[in-house]
A and B are shown apart, each in its own frame.
Chain A
């Protein structure tokens, strides 16, 4: 293709991502978004205007060299695209799938002002998938420094920090409490959104290239305390996430069939419960499921429920339903637009302005229903959203046999056993410097959900990266912040 003019580039339509048909995909766990073909990717790459001062990069929490990788992509230089990508992002196949690009790089893309932004996320995924399959530019660690760093938690924050520290030649050991590395990427995000082969592929590739050791089944706080890690390692990064589930404080939460989204998703994703009995862990979903909450985790839970119902039904439609019960309205739904859209497309029923007040059980101790109350929206609250207020006398019963609570999570305090010097907030999060992740405990940094409370994969990656920068400077003796 000869060089296009700016006007010509702006006339190219944003390329649609091929996806599985909603009615087909709601009955399987295969990936929903199928990925760009090379042709679609090249076509989409042609839309980039190669701005002199690219705003997209400003919108990226890890500062990916977006114009550079897109330029290489449209020249057909895949290796160049991978190289440009990896300067800032070591896990593109993951980011390309789960980053909320619509509020980050794509929101600040100059084309977004007049129409549709460049599909940066889809291009990123294309480059990431290419590299996972081809392994053209392995990450390289610098000369061995003899310094050792412990990373606690192998989710997005820990992984990113591990890679960036190891690239400077420091010896990195990751401690993971579960049996498989990846944190929320493996226990939380479902296969149909982020295939586990992609997560394991990215982690294995990076760990092999950089000699990162991963110790699974290691619950820090129990097997080693933070103090013990500090005796062995020159620096410690805490990326333990927000793993503790919240339950509504209403009667009936311990009936059989009521579970946290964490439990439900862990059974499905980490333990592969949807393949029971081939895998040993069962997962049960009723014919009428209510998911409480409307964040990304709620969407994931609802969409997994639909799929399990389809797998359980012998043939076709057996009248099963999945509801999302949310106390605010459609406008306030906190999930990513795309996830919300996918859930609706697949047939999830949304009950807005509805709040459960009691879970009802039968005489065998199983859930049979939920008493709810209708809500209306009042004045703006501290979060800037309109406060939901119960409408008196509007209570009603909803027949359900599964209740999944997706109400947010908070940091797991286990890691803080015997870590008195580490200051934490009243919400249980670690107090850390916003720009560097430096904590109140010498030689300890923290980032991701353990600092911010439940947030996004990419913000955790950004935090891991910032901490890695400062850990590297500290290990080189450039700074001593304490």
Chain B
């Protein structure tokens, strides 16, 4: 069992947890993920490592409550324990001095982007960060990203904070203005955002690395449920990724695969809501 040491509510739906996992923390590197299972009836979900502290023996995860498992996880408090916290999985990000790089983070994708931006900065790169979310409340870690970036652009879809734009707009401007200067782009966020980021950079032929978050079970190459179609054929996100060349990903196939269990996800959320309401009612009755 893995104890939750700290919890931070970043927004209504985004939560941060610091989990005690010394052996995982000892090896963790930017770009890797952990497989989390809340309890004995739980499913296994991959969550990218947002930060790690080798001395404290902790891993930081940030998740958005989008389904039953993340909703359940969100109800846990410090002192509670997770049934599974396996990792670090996936090969770490290849970090070297590329020159000037752009790190694009969308919504909860800002979390896994942060350690990568930090590592890139430490390796000597000029880091330009673009972070965005649907609305102000969904933004977090602006300060952290600022601290590891040479330049920073913040935007929201609805204009409630920073620039009113999708992340692809400032990215396109940067690529136009500094043609040839920017050598690499990282993009982490919802699949649709990564798709359009890759489409934006393609005409400029700037290598664009995306970190895919697909459905997984084991996270070690065993089930193949996470497979993604690249130009060269199918690959496994868990062991061949999670980072891929965004220009080679078949995004429509990826988006279709992510939606395969939509109906079951809806049922699970319904059952969870029902359980929570029932427990709430019982508590009130007891009080």
Contacts and interface: CB of A to CB of B under 8 A. Distances in A.
Contacts of B229: 254
Q: Which of A216, A219, A262 has the most CB of B within 10 A?
A: A219
A291 to B, nearest CB: 15
A231 to B, nearest CB: 14
A177 B218 contact: yes
Interface residues on B, range: 35 or more
A179 B225 contact: no
B61 to A, nearest CB: 15
B240 to A, nearest CB: 11
A284 B88 contact: no
Given A259-B224, A266-B222, A282 B268 contact: yes
Interface residues on A, range: 35 or more
A223 B23 contact: yes
B264 A262 contact: no
Contacts of A414: 220-221, 239
A407 to B, nearest CB: 11
Interface string B88-123: 110000000000000000000000000000000000
Interface stretch (A3-11, A243-251, A348-356): A243-251
A217 interface: yes
A177 B220 contact: yes
A329 interface: no
Contacts of B225: 259-260, 263
A263 B215 CA distance: 11
Interface string A256-278: 11011011001100111000111
Contact of B41 (A177, A254, A278, A282): A278
A178 interface: yes
Contact of A178 (B27, B218, B256, B268): B218
A280 B220 contact: no
Q: Which of B42, B218, B260 has the most CB of A within 10 A?
A: B218
B15 interface: no
A197 interface: no
A263 B69 CA distance: 19
Contacts of B43: 271, 279-281
Contacts of B87: 219, 222-223
A219 B87 CA distance: 7
A281 B257 contact: no
A366 B83 CA distance: 33
B218 A365 contact: no
Given A223-B27, A245-B222, A253-B234, A277 B268 contact: yes
Contacts of B56: none
A176 to B, nearest CB: 10
A480 to B, nearest CB: 31
Contact of A245 (B23, B86, B88, B224): B224
A243 B44 CA distance: 17
Interface string A398-435: 00000000000000111000000000000000000000
B278 interface: no
A21 B267 CA distance: 33
A364 interface: yes
Contacts of B265: 282
Contacts of B247: none
B85 A217 contact: yes
B223 interface: yes
Contacts of A263: 217, 223-225
Contact of B268 (A223, A280, A365): A280
Given A259-B225, A280-B43, A266 B89 contact: no
B89 to A, nearest CB: 6
Contact of B224 (A260, A282, A413): A260
Interface in A299-325: none
16 contacts: A179-B37, A222-B89, A223-B27, A223-B88, A243-B220, A243-B221, A244-B222, A245-B224, A263-B223, A263-B224, A271-B43, A282-B261, A282-B268, A366-B256, A366-B260, A413-B221
Given A216-B84, A364-B256, 20 more contacts: A177-B220, A217-B86, A222-B88, A223-B23, A243-B220, A243-B222, A244-B221, A253-B234, A254-B234, A259-B225, A260-B225, A262-B224, A263-B224, A263-B225, A266-B218, A266-B223, A271-B43, A277-B264, A277-B271, A279-B41
The 7 closest A-B pairs by CB, nearest first: A365-B256, A282-B264, A263-B223, A217-B86, A280-B43, A281-B43, A260-B224
